[in-house]
Amino acid sequence: MTPNILMTRIDNRLVHGQVGVTWANTLAANLVIVANDDVATDDVQQQLMKMVLPDTIGIRFFTIERTSQIIDKAAPHQKIFIVVKTPQDVLRLLENGVQLEQVNIGNMHYKEGKKQVAPTVSVDDADIEVFKKIKEFNVDLFVQGIPGEKKQDIFNLI
């Protein structure tokens, strides 16, 4: 059985108001999976993210490896929205057998050595190489901050 993954989003901030309310509701998700090795063991960050979501949406925190191991066990009624911190997290999911159709690049903070390619997305050469590897899995990679914005193919921006 293929899990019902609605979308995967790269967001340095993981779950915050824009992700927890706007995106989850627009997608009609009933489960948010935060796939991140650090947050999987950080109770404080988990509690803060749980506070953002309405009671009608469940949230789980797993390492990348654990997500890969259990995603195929998802129940058919689960409408899953996966949130990761980096493009590298997405690539690891794919390499571990998780089937993703589309990845929303929502927020990648600017820092020294990165170039801004969209208002909330900054990348370096390593990120671009990872995007190319993700594309080899036939994944649609697009930048879209909020649901009402037009999707932009990342390869048209870099």
Dist. CA 130–CA 128, nearest whole Å: 5
CB 46 within 8 A of CB 61: yes
Closest by CA to 64, choosing from 18, 43, 33, 42, is 33
Dist. CA 2–CA 111, nearest whole Å: 37
Q: Is 77 a catalytic residue?
A: no
Identify the active-site residue in 13, 16, 60, 114.
16
Dist. CA 113–CA 109, nearest whole Å: 11
Q: Give catalytic residue positions.
A: 16
